[in-house]
Amino acid sequence: MNDVELPSAKGIDYRNLEKLLAAGKWKEANEETINKMLEVMGRQKEGWLFVGDIDNFPCEDLRTIDQLWVKYSNGRFGFSVQKRIYQSLGGTREYDEKIWQAFGDKVGWRKNDKWLYYSEVIFNTSAPYGHL
């Protein structure tokens, strides 16, 4: 389990996230990822990130989170997987509703032209690539 370094620009401890991912506890790992991202940006009280937080999120932490997800999902899940899919559909930093919907369809976040509720997300490796 220890062959992935867990660097953090903000001194965040990612060992619990690694444990959850290694155990295949995808839903708990997703929730831990959210909590760690809030912790990185000091947004635990708000419970969400602001748009500007995305541009200021430390690359080191984003890379650590992504590498853990990619490693323990055998390349199925992670930000880099989602980025590759999004860009393959023509996605850029500029919002395009059609591309965003196509992305949602591709990663399984939309069914029958409707966005899934969180309770409908698939938290296992049968989910489409990029689903988590």
What is the distance between the alpha carbons of residues 58 and 37, in angstroms, rounded to a whole number?
A: 10
List C-alpha distances in Å: 55 to 49, 50, 51, 64, 93: 11, 10, 8, 17, 11
pLDDT tens sequence for the chain (132 residues): 556 679 999 999 999 999 999 999 999 999 999 999 999 999 999 999 999 999 999 999 999 999 999 999 999 999 999 999 999 999 999 999 999 999 999 999 999 999 999 999 999 999 999 999
pLDDT at 1: 55
Contact of 99 with 89, CB cutoff 8 Å:
yes
List C-alpha distances in Å: 11 to 31, 41, 88, 93: 19, 12, 34, 28
C-beta atoms surrounding 81 within 10 Å: 20
Per DSSP, the three-state class of 105 is helix
Contact of 76 with 129, CB cutoff 8 Å:
yes
What is the distance between the alpha carbons of residues 75 and 98, in angstroms, rounded to a whole number?
A: 26
